[in-house]
Chains A and B, each alone.
Chain A
Amino acid sequence: MASHLFCGRVNLNILREAARKDLREFLDKCSGSKAIVWDEYLTGPFGLIAQYSLLKEHEVEKMFTLKAGRIPSAAVKNIVFFVRPRLELMDIIAENVASEDKLQPRDVHILFVPRRSLLCEQRLKEKGVLNSFTNIDEYILDLIPYDGDLLSMESESSFRECYLENDQTSLYHAAKGLMNLQALYGTIPQIFGKGECARHVANMMLRMKREFAGSQTQILPVFDTLLLLDRNVDLLTPLATQLTYEGLIDEIFGITNGYVKLPPEKFAQKKQGEGGKELPTEPKKLQLNSAEELYAEIRDKNFNAVGAALSKKAKIISAAFEERHNAKTVGEIKQFVSQLPHMQAARSSLANHTSIAELIKDITTSEDFFDSLTVEQEFMTGVDTDKVSTYIEDCIAQKDPLIKILRLVCMQSVCNNGLKQKVLDYYKKEILQTYGYKHILTLKNLEKVGLLKPQSTMRNNYPTIRKTLKLWMEDANEQNPNDISYVYSGYAPLSVRLTQVLARPGWRSIEEVLKMLPGPHFEERQQVPTGLHKKRQPGENRTTLVFFLGGVTYAEIAALRFLSNMEDSGTEYIIAATKLINGTSWIKSLMDSPEENLP
């Protein structure tokens, strides 16, 4: 069920098991049949920890979504609320509880995820329902194992909270999550970081460790290094269109909590004999992770290399099926049959991905996609970034999706270290006139987080950064990559370059560039008890945990995986992030459209 967590270098299933154990313990605290009332936001992240079957084993009979009014009727002994500590949710809960049937009292419990809060309890008390709860507990869910080498906090708005609203709760949770991780995988001896938030998280970790001094874990450290990176150190990468297979799936269809929903048409006609039936209207939902052999193979490839990989795979599979003709003896046939389920799974997997690839290809071969990519690449190479781009102008005139426009304008601003006031005002005016004045707040948000800014008197330092860190590689090889730049067909993500340089030859070689990027860079060491020092075998790789505060893209993950697999890299990477993002979801999280707040 969680086989995808075993395949990495670090067994992340330990983390998942620990989380499941906590959940079971809590569920058993409320004895008897129960119904769970979900804060809808939590269902996705919980799905990564436990399927319905686990809940069922512990007598969960019904599940509802948290809504105002009455809880739908259910013949259960317990009602359990799974909620985030938000005041607005408390009001709903209070309403739910107050309208419970007084004649048939049921036990009511509340489980706060990830932390309980006095403020919320205060609110429940004000509403006069606090005493109705049999259990008030918390379920610490900070870092959720997402894949064999990937952890996510699944915290949607952490970038917005940290950089726009100055609310560092998510950083506190990140630090807690890292402490928890260290309790399971040993103290991480070296911590590097770049950015204000990174500094903050490291400070909290060190302090927590000091408070914890007595109860050192006696575990051999699994990780050698932790690298904390602020998203605002590299604002450029998420803005660019990802060109890996997985990245494009995310860009075009959106992956949430490890699942993607796809238009069903392409998947329908495969079943024979049902040709006459009408097309399904429900979108096709697929889980995407490295447990699927084929997906693991192609997910990080540049999309232009996926077609070849798929056709190669197709040949192998059909060859495998052909084998049956060679099977002569009973033993051989038996062996063939035993492989059949695996082969059939591989075939359906191939069919699925061929369909997805076709869907993507329709888009990537379109002129629109090509034009927009060309402009992106021009910006990244520093062509005409100081002028109004006619392409953007035309896009606005044709009222293309606003987020597309914002991504491009922000990218131009980032690549030019701010736009000339005249250019910036022009874009702003065009956007406001075309998409509505209400977006003025969104534009202000983008300015606050630094995605849009007027040019200061300082020199544009982006070209220096680009050259020093080799962010643009002219001859990116998409088929057989030799550099991380293949993930964006030329652009090497800045964040991953920083990671790469840190491993070799070290940050000292790029001091100048580090100073140009926002926030401090630092190094901390944590004492590891003697006897727990790792004795590295010759040729054994180091393991580095890279933590992206404010989100990471699939293309960046692909680039880090590429580095892990490089023959002489010497370092393997595990990736953690507050959230998996792409340019669209990221910009969306920063938008402010007041109309949505209408009652």
Chain B
Amino acid sequence: MAFVTANWNPLGDAFYRKIELYEMGWNLKDGLRDCLVAAAPYGGPIALLKAHNRCSPSARPQLEIFSSSGLPLASFPWKSGVVKQLGWTVSDDLLCVQEDGTVLVYDLLGGFKRHFSMGNEVSQSQVLETKIFHSPYGTGVAILTGALRFTLATNIDDIKLRRLPEVPGLQGAPSCWAVLTQDRQSKVLVANGSHLFVLDNTACTPVTPPGLSPQASSIVHMCVSFSYKYLALLTDSGHVWMGTSNLKEKLSEVDTKIKAPPKQMAWCRRPKSQQPSAVVMWDGLLLVVGECKETIQYHLDDDSILVPELDGVRIISGTHHELLQEVPGACEEIFKIASMAPGALLLEAHKEYEKESQKADEYLREIKEQSLLSEAVRQCVEAAGHEHEPETQKTLLRAASFGKCFLSNFPPEQFVSMCRDLRVLNAVRDYTVGIPLSHTQFKQMTIQVLIDRLVYRKLYPLAIEVCRYLKTPEYQGVSRVLKYWACYKVCVCVYLFTPLLYSNILYFVLFLQLLFNKVALNLSKLTPYCMPSCMLVYTVVMYLKNELNRGDFFMMLRNQPVALSLYKQFCKHQEQDTLKDLFNQDDDHEELGNFYVKASYKEQRLEARIAHLQSAVDEYYKAKNEFSAKTTEDEMRLLRFQRKLEEEKGEQLVGFSLHDTMTTLLSVGLHKHAEQLYKDFRVPDKRFWWLRLKALAEKEDWEELEKFSKSKKSPIGYLPFVEVCIKHHNKYEARKYVSKVTLEQKVKAHLAVGDVEGAAEAAIERRNESEIGTVLSRCSATTDHLLVERLNRAKATVAKK
């Protein structure tokens, strides 16, 4: 099996290997040149924004999303602002950080989800650099602003912006910086020349890496390991310093002998490995540095990017996708040339056994004599997990299975679960799915998360297969996937045109029937899609209404604004009482008040009506709507007054407005009662005067009207008196009031009673051109000959002035 070690390179005590994961399915014209690229860890998707430093503002770059194998998932023209950085969240959402600090969130199929801002300060001073990082609290964003200050949000799902303290002596952009997570806090490590600072919430602390080579005058690059435990620094002298990220311990320092600034640097260390190692990338060159002086050099043909992983580094270029990692212990033991480890012997024994050679027995004996057979089986199983090629995996597992035959009481779990895991891993690593997870990563990520990721990619059948195969409990596995699938399907169906839509409602209801007992259906996932078709929402609501108890039903509606408002509409027409219950549940006192007001008008009996109104008043007070409460109290007062008067005087009044009530009272001569209402309800003087004036004129009680006009100075003036009299064809009475009219309205008053001369007199006196004009238009040239002349003369004099 010599070929297994063909791509191994020694470095110190360990070996490193580079495995090709995929030949990329995309077809990029210029490779990754001039692209903003972001690849999610754990074999996640890759986002690409071409030509982000666009020259003309009208050009719209294309934002593309691919699977790790380069298959397109989404593509759309970028219409928003200039993007500084792309990155992925832990739940496979794409973050696009714009120059102004706005962060746009898309799902991995390119659907826009939301956006948020990194604060005013950022938008004012603009984004200089950005890093997106993952911590136990979720995905975070760190921004270096144009004002050379750092702003940081540790979890984008629960944004709390932190502005970090100033870095002393910082003149321009720092040479490099990184985000650390330590002591449950996110900190920023900044290098300014040869000085290093740690910024946390409160302070900026200068630090010195122990034993940093003295030739260095500046730190040009830094990177933090996947676990945030280790730190690597690259100096301008070409030295790579590696140590713990708390800067207490130095692990090694290696001279790369290259002084050019690198393009990227990343840790390449698997968990529990003894050797620290980092990968540094320059144009066309990749260097692995470890503890010893030697390095491994790889030649790169193409622009590439490094994606740090838990147990290695992925290298993505325009054409290929590779994984660089330290060869895992078990593999090394088995495949190292001339290895005598038990696993290696067992593999050899199995090979001979297949050849039907008696050597098999010899090897086996050798292992058994050292009583290392169970160790050998374990090694083979473990190594199989780390191998990428299914053939190699099979060979190792067959060897393990062979070895197991000679062991009694060997626990089978490890072997069985490895077989299962590998089948799942091989399935998701498949080119069409494109999630190149290693076994170590898979274990770290958990099966739950893997299923989620398959669901995000809408690979429902595969997700279900995986759940079934791994025997995941129903509620976490198959049902959950089905739920997502059904939501998605229904959403799609809702929009299909009518005949289809119609049958899909039925289908949807059936589906609800099936599922509702088991899974709490999240309707909120549905409603944004359902909004247009109200009938669908109605149907669902009506179904649920029968299916759930009232309390649960109301609780469910509470979170569904659209469904709720539609249901309220329905209740308004069909079930008034339910409407009340709904308002009650929401403590919507305002609407409850309105409800009672409406109800009051349905009542024929006055007591019932007043009782409803009283309830309305109570509700309005609870709603702190003073105006409505007071008004409704007034209404009750008026009703009581009307009833009393109806009983006493036999006048039909109940239901009249205050105005009409007063008019009626005045017209039947109950002046006192009208006065009382005027006072009780604080009717403005002006309106009351109008009211009395009109009522008296209506009655043609001219005597009373005159008395009234003299009772005190009219707040509405006397022109209305003139006009109302004229309206009732009483010129004689109207004339009485003309003299009382104010100067401004005199012309109008005179004209109203048909006294053109008086009007002319008044207009000339007032020297008002437009009024003279009005009077002129009322004169007839034949009869008022003289008057016209006078007016024209006056007009001419006025005009002159």
Whether B535 pairs with A397 at a CB distance below 8 angstroms is no
Whether B538 pairs with A119 at a CB distance below 8 angstroms is yes
List residues of chain A with CB within 8 A of the CB of B602: 594, 597-599
Whether B632 pairs with A434 at a CB distance below 8 angstroms is no
Whether A428 pairs with B687 at a CB distance below 8 angstroms is no
Mask: chain B, 191-203; 1 = CB below 8 Å from A; 0 = not: 0000000000000
Docked pose: A117 CA to B566 CA in angstroms: 15
List residues of chain A with CB within 8 A of the CB of B340: none
Question: Does chain A have a CB within 8 A of B137?
Answer: no
Question: Does chain B have a CB within 8 A of A420?
Answer: no
List residues of chain B with CB within 8 A of the CB of A175: 532
For chain B, what secondary structure do more than half of its interface residues adopt (helix, strand, loop), or is it mixed? helix
Kindly identify which residue among B495, B538, B638 contacts A437, using a CB–CB cutoff of 8 Å.
B638
Docked pose: A212 CA to B500 CA in angstroms: 12
List residues of chain A with CB within 8 A of the CB of B781: none
Q: Please name the residue on chain B nearest to A433 by beta carbon.
A: B658
Whether B681 pairs with A433 at a CB distance below 8 angstroms is yes
Question: Does chain A have a CB within 8 A of B473?
Answer: no
Interface size for B (C-beta < 8 A) is 52
With A118-B505, A119-B535, A397-B690 already in contact, the answer to whether A434 and B498 are too (CB < 8 A) is no
Whether A207 pairs with B495 at a CB distance below 8 angstroms is yes
B727 to chain A, nearest CB (A): 11
List residues of chain A with CB within 8 A of the CB of B539: 118-119
Q: Which of A429, A433, A437 has the most CB of B within 10 A?
A: A433
Kindly identify which residue among B569, B684, B690 contacts A167, using a CB–CB cutoff of 8 Å.
B569
Whether B659 pairs with A399 at a CB distance below 8 angstroms is yes
Mask: chain B, 405-444; 1 = CB below 8 Å from A; 0 = not: 0000000000000000000000000000000000000000
List residues of chain A with CB within 8 A of the CB of B600: 594
Mask: chain A, 473-500; 1 = CB below 8 Å from B; 0 = not: 0000000000000000000000000000
Q: Please name the residue on chain A nearest to B691 by beta carbon.
A: A397
With A430-B684, A433-B683, A434-B657 already in contact, the answer to whether A172 and B694 are too (CB < 8 A) is no
Q: Please name the residue on chain A nearest to B687 by beta carbon.
A: A397
Kindly identify which residue among A172, A428, A597 contacts B534, using a CB–CB cutoff of 8 Å.
A172
Docked pose: A441 CA to B596 CA in angstroms: 11
Mask: chain A, 578-599; 1 = CB below 8 Å from B; 0 = not: 0000000000000010110111
With A115-B498, A172-B532, A397-B691 already in contact, the answer to whether A435 and B635 are too (CB < 8 A) is no
A89 to chain B, nearest CB (A): 11
Question: Does chain B have a CB within 8 A of A85?
Answer: yes
Q: Which of A410-463 contact B (CB under 8 A)?
A: 425, 428-430, 432-438, 440-441, 444
Docked pose: A85 CA to B539 CA in angstroms: 13
Kindly identify which residue among B562, B594, B657 contacts A441, using a CB–CB cutoff of 8 Å.
B594
Whether A171 pairs with B532 at a CB distance below 8 angstroms is yes
Docked pose: A175 CA to B570 CA in angstroms: 23
Docked pose: A398 CA to B601 CA in angstroms: 26
List residues of chain B with CB within 8 A of the CB of A428: 627, 631
Whether B687 pairs with A444 at a CB distance below 8 angstroms is no
List residues of chain B with CB within 8 A of the CB of A117: 535, 538
Mask: chain B, 477-505; 1 = CB below 8 Å from A; 0 = not: 00000000000000010011110001001
Question: Does chain A have a CB within 8 A of B531?
Answer: yes
With A168-B532, A172-B533, A434-B657 already in contact, the answer to whether A122 and B542 are too (CB < 8 A) is yes
List residues of chain A with CB within 8 A of the CB of B684: 393, 430
Kindly identify which residue among B534, B627, B657, B694 contacts A398, using a CB–CB cutoff of 8 Å.
B694
B148 to chain A, nearest CB (A): 31
List residues of chain B with CB within 8 A of the CB of A200: 531-532
Mask: chain B, 71-99; 1 = CB below 8 Å from A; 0 = not: 00000000000000000000000000000
Mask: chain B, 771-786; 1 = CB below 8 Å from A; 0 = not: 0000000000000000
List residues of chain B with CB within 8 A of the CB of A598: 601-602
Whether A597 pairs with B601 at a CB distance below 8 angstroms is yes
Question: Does chain B have a CB within 8 A of A204?
Answer: yes
With A437-B632, A440-B628, A594-B597 already in contact, the answer to whether A397 and B686 are too (CB < 8 A) is yes
List residues of chain B with CB within 8 A of the CB of A399: 659
A563 to chain B, nearest CB (A): 27
Whether B659 pairs with A440 at a CB distance below 8 angstroms is no
A139 to chain B, nearest CB (A): 11
Question: Does chain A have a CB within 8 A of B634?
Answer: yes
Whether A166 pairs with B598 at a CB distance below 8 angstroms is no
Docked pose: A85 CA to B627 CA in angstroms: 39
Question: Does chain B have a CB within 8 A of A255?
Answer: no
Question: Does chain B have a CB within 8 A of A184?
Answer: no
Docked pose: A165 CA to B683 CA in angstroms: 34
Docked pose: A599 CA to B573 CA in angstroms: 13
List residues of chain B with CB within 8 A of the CB of A393: 684, 686-687
Interface size for A (C-beta < 8 A) is 52
Question: Does chain B have a CB within 8 A of A87?
Answer: yes
Whether A436 pairs with B687 at a CB distance below 8 angstroms is no
Q: Which of B545-581 contact A (CB under 8 A)?
A: 561-562, 565-566, 568-570, 573-574
Docked pose: A207 CA to B570 CA in angstroms: 27
Question: Does chain B have a CB within 8 A of A208?
Answer: yes
A401 to chain B, nearest CB (A): 14
Q: Which of A203-228 contact B (CB under 8 A)?
A: 204, 207-208, 210-212
For chain A, what secondary structure do more than half of its interface residues adopt (helix, strand, loop), or is it mixed? helix
Q: Which of B643-689 contact A (CB under 8 A)?
A: 656-660, 681, 683-684, 686-687
Question: Does chain B have a CB within 8 A of A138?
Answer: yes
Whether A429 pairs with B657 at a CB distance below 8 angstroms is no
Q: Please name the residue on chain A nearest to B628 by beta carbon.
A: A440
Whether B657 pairs with A437 at a CB distance below 8 angstroms is yes
With A122-B542, A138-B498, A165-B565 already in contact, the answer to whether A204 and B598 are too (CB < 8 A) is no
B563 to chain A, nearest CB (A): 11
Whether A167 pairs with B627 at a CB distance below 8 angstroms is no
Whether A594 pairs with B690 at a CB distance below 8 angstroms is no
Q: Please name the residue on chain B nearest to A122 by beta carbon.
A: B542
Question: Does chain B have a CB within 8 A of A510?
Answer: no
With A172-B532, A396-B687 already in contact, the answer to whether A441 and B597 are too (CB < 8 A) is yes
A230 to chain B, nearest CB (A): 16
With A172-B534, A437-B631 already in contact, the answer to whether A212 and B657 are too (CB < 8 A) is no
Question: Does chain B have a CB within 8 A of A116?
Answer: yes
Docked pose: A168 CA to B683 CA in angstroms: 42
Q: Which of A175, A398, A435, A592 has the most CB of B within 10 A?
A: A398
Question: Does chain B have a CB within 8 A of A169?
Answer: yes
Mask: chain A, 131-159; 1 = CB below 8 Å from B; 0 = not: 00000001010000000000000000000
Question: Does chain B have a CB within 8 A of A394?
Answer: yes
B502 to chain A, nearest CB (A): 7
Docked pose: A118 CA to B503 CA in angstroms: 10
A92 to chain B, nearest CB (A): 13
Docked pose: A434 CA to B659 CA in angstroms: 5
Whether A437 pairs with B634 at a CB distance below 8 angstroms is yes
A251 to chain B, nearest CB (A): 24
List residues of chain A with CB within 8 A of the CB of B686: 393-394, 397
Given contacts A118-B535, A433-B657, A436-B657, 8 further A-B contacts (CB under 8 A): A115-B498, A117-B535, A118-B539, A165-B565, A168-B534, A432-B631, A434-B658, A592-B598
A-B contact pairs, 24 of them (CB 8 A): A118-B539, A119-B535, A167-B569, A171-B532, A172-B532, A200-B531, A208-B497, A211-B497, A397-B687, A397-B691, A397-B716, A399-B659, A428-B627, A428-B631, A430-B684, A430-B687, A432-B658, A434-B658, A434-B659, A437-B657, A440-B631, A441-B598, A594-B597, A598-B602
Interface residues of B (CB under 8 A from A): 492, 495-498, 502, 505-506, 531-535, 538-539, 542, 561-562, 565-566, 568-570, 573-574, 594, 597-598, 600-602, 627-628, 631-632, 634-635, 638, 656-660, 681, 683-684, 686-687, 690-691, 694, 716
Interface residues of A (CB under 8 A from B): 85, 87-88, 115-119, 122, 138, 140, 165-169, 171-172, 175, 200, 204, 207-208, 210-212, 393-394, 396-399, 425, 428-430, 432-438, 440-441, 444, 592, 594-595, 597-599
Interchain residue pairs A-B with the least CB separation, the first 9: A397-B690, A166-B565, A594-B601, A436-B657, A172-B532, A437-B635, A434-B659, A211-B495, A433-B658
